[in-house]
Amino acid sequence: MGFPIWPKPWVKILAPRIGYLPLLVPHIKPHFSSTLPPGIDTVWFDYKGLPLKWYIPTGILFDLLCSEPERPWNLTVHFRGYPGNILIPCEGEDSVKWSFINSLKEAAYIINGNCKSVMNMSQPDQVELWRSVINGNLEAYIRVSSKLKLGTVGDEYAADLYSSSFNSRQSIGDTDSTGQVKTGRVPVRLYVWSVNEDFDDLEDAPQIDSWDKISYVNRPVEIHGEEGKCFTLHDAVKSLLPEYFPYKSLNNEESSREEDKNEEKVPSENLSEHVESCYPSDDAEVKLVRIQGIEPKLEIPFSWVVNNMVNPEHFLHLCVCLKLPQVKIPSDT
């Protein structure tokens, strides 16, 4: 799946969501070659003045920076003046491939506890895997990536809710001898931007004009197969952001203390400190979650999301907008 990108003064390209902006340079550069000044080209892109990080997949950049998706996506391409204070250096396709393989190793380590399957890939398999990604060849990608044995979780709810998708990707998940779903560790990259003001329409969402406004969270999600309870996308987001969504509320902790009469009471000053540390999370609200260009319901089983929406390097990329409460500063009396 792709979407059109128009670098000014207008060359139209259909860019794959799972691709990377530097891989578009061979298609773009000939369009401008006759007008470029002498010198070494250092190609980079910006969107509304914001330099775009080349190692983030193109589709993720689009989901993150376009609250209200625009098509075509109007980008500006630069051949000089590389913003080295914002972007790490990029040496073209080699840098992108190196970044991709490193992410694949990291994902393998999270899933299996080691990255031997990636490290032991033959050179032909590594080349075929990379070519399948940049060419969007799903059949070749599945053939090579299946050798890595990076299945994460079985989808216990897919048989009932999404049977057709589950059957087509059944090899991804595993179950034990009793048919129970195995616990899975899922590599996740979370891109979080927070707002204080509320909005109902995405057109009114604040524009991201600086990378300082984005919190980058690189954490695994551990799925525990709890019988009779669905581990949802909302559960996953909360587990990824414990600073905003504590596992236990203060009220629950106080109730458990009252029930256990033999437990020593916690001094009031400690309770006060706990309240203050949890204050930012008390009213945190998930305003938007966007994955692969769609905005799924938060109640969807997370295992289905993992088995159907991971990127080729086996990371699940989530773009999340949080509404945080405004901190009230007491006035002087």
- Taking only the tens place, the pLDDT of each residue in 112-161 is 999 999 999 999 999 999 999 988 888 999 999 999 988 756 654 444 44
Give residue 207's pLDDT band: very low, low, confident or very high (50, 70, 90).
Answer: confident
Give the least confident one: 43-52, 257-266, 321-330. Answer: 257-266
- Bigger pLDDT: 9 vs 78: 78
Please give the pLDDT value at position 122. Answer: 94
**208-226 average pLDDT score:** 87
> What whole-number distance in Å separates Cα of residue 2 and Cα of residue 4?
7
Q: Where in the chain is the domain with CATH 3.10.20.620?
A: 21-78
Please give the pLDDT value at position 105. Answer: 96
Give the least confident one: 48-52, 91-95, 142-146, 169-173. Answer: 169-173
Q: What pLDDT, in 10s, does the model give residues 71-112?
A: 889 999 999 999 999 999 998 999 999 999 999 999 999 999
Contacts of 34 (CB under 8 A, 6+ apart): none
Give the least confident one: 63-67, 114-118, 144-148, 280-284. Answer: 280-284
> What whole-number distance in Å separates Cα of residue 229 and Cα of residue 27?
49
* Sheet arrangement for strand 316-323: 214-223, 184-195, 316-323, 285-290
Name the residue among 225, 212, 221 with its Cα closest to residue 317: 221
Please give the pLDDT value at position 154. Answer: 60
- The DSSP bridge pattern shows strands 44-47 and 50-51 to be antiparallel
Q: Nearest 5°: phi and psi at 287?
A: -85, -30
> What whole-number distance in Å separates Cα of residue 174 and Cα of residue 172?
7
Architecture of the domain delimited by 93-153: Orthogonal Bundle (1.10)
> What whole-number distance in Å separates Cα of residue 300 and Cα of residue 316?
15
Please give the pLDDT value at position 291. Answer: 96
Architecture of the domain delimited by 21-78: Roll (3.10)
Residue spans of alpha helices (H) in 162-267? 163-168, 233-240, 250-259
Mean pLDDT of the chain: 78
Q: Over 50: is that where the pLDDT of 273 sits?
A: no
Q: Over 50: is that where the pLDDT of 312 sits?
A: yes
Whether pTM exceeds 0.75: yes
Question: How big is the CA angle at 40 (ends 34 and 41), to the nearest 5 degrees?
Answer: 65
Please give the pLDDT value at position 32. Answer: 84
Contact (Cβ atoms closer than 8 angstroms) between residue 288 and residue 321 = yes
Q: Where in the chain is the domain with CATH 3.10.20.90?
A: 185-245+281-323
Q: Over 60: is that where the pLDDT of 257 sits?
A: no
Architecture of the domain delimited by 185-245+281-323: Roll (3.10)
